[in-house]
Structures are given as C-alpha cells and as structure tokens.
Amino acid sequence: MKIEDEIKGRFRNEYHKGLINLIFTEKQLSYQFLQILKKHRLTEPQYNVLRVLRGFRNEGPLSVGFIKDRMLDKQPDVSRIVDKLYEKGLVNRSENRSDRRQKDIEITEEGLNLLSGMNDFKLQEDQILKNLSLDEVIQFNSLLDKIRELNN
C-alpha cells in the first residue's frame, strides 16, 4: 500500500514523502519486532546487548564500552541494561582484573539458549524484505548507507 493511502496525507515534495515513508515503515517494523521480544520478556536494548555478546563471545569477556560501540541504538546506560540481564541470569559480570572500574560481561548458557530459541523472531526477521529481489536489497542497503553518510 502506498504511504499516501496508509496515512491519508499529502507531502510537500518527494523528499518529504520519502522521509515520512521511511519513518512510518520503521515504526511499523519496530512495533512488530517489539511484540516478538515481549513474548520472550526482553526489551530491544536487552536483545541488542545479547546479540553483541553472542557475536563476540569468542573474544572473551567484553567491556560495557565495547558493547555500547556495537549496539544498534547507542543507549547511554548500557550498565543498567546489563544489570537487568544479570538479574535474569542471561549474562555474567565480573570485575576486570586490570581495571577495577570496568566490568567483564559474558553471555550465559541461558542467554544463548534464549537467543537460539527465538525461532519466531528469526522467521519474521527473514520475511521482512522477502518482497524485494537481491538486487533491490543491495540497492536499498546502499541508499540507507548514503542517507546516513549525509547525516553523520
């Protein structure tokens, strides 16, 4: 469905329409994403931290700063997110031996099991761009990168 029909609105120009279309689409996808995470009793930032920890677990315990640098949403308080995950038993944290101000964070087996058990999320994630060809997805990624370059 076209964005004009979705929101029953008008746009100043095609640039305005593109921006509104991007924001509307992101909000729609984000809502679906959050509904799936809610089933697993996770917030989006908690899921993001777990993904980072799983992806880099072969590099040993990670610092909060390392995690923050790799998150999709640059949350200011990653320590608080880690605390919540620790309370749920999804991560371990310990004092860093070389810098006592730092904490070493690792994903637990329970955290790994939770992520691997999120098949409903993986299936939905894989379907989001299915109506685009591979060439269209490559072009889409290139356009999104170009938009971010302008705004960094």
* Residue with the two structure tokens 């997805």: 137
pLDDT band at residue 143 using 50, 70 and 90 as cut-offs:
very high
> Is the distance from CB of 38 to CB of 55 less than 8 angstroms?
no
Question: Which domain does 50 fall in, by range?
Answer: 41-150
Q: Is the pTM of this model over 0.85?
A: no
Q: How high is the pLDDT of residue 16?
A: 92
Do 36 and 61 fall into the same domain?
no
How many domains, the chain? 2
Q: Which is higher by pLDDT, 7 or 108?
A: 108
Do 69 and 3 fall into the same domain?
no
> Is the distance from CB of 17 to CB of 3 less than 8 angstroms?
yes
Whole-angstrom distance, CA of residue 32 vs CA of residue 125: 10
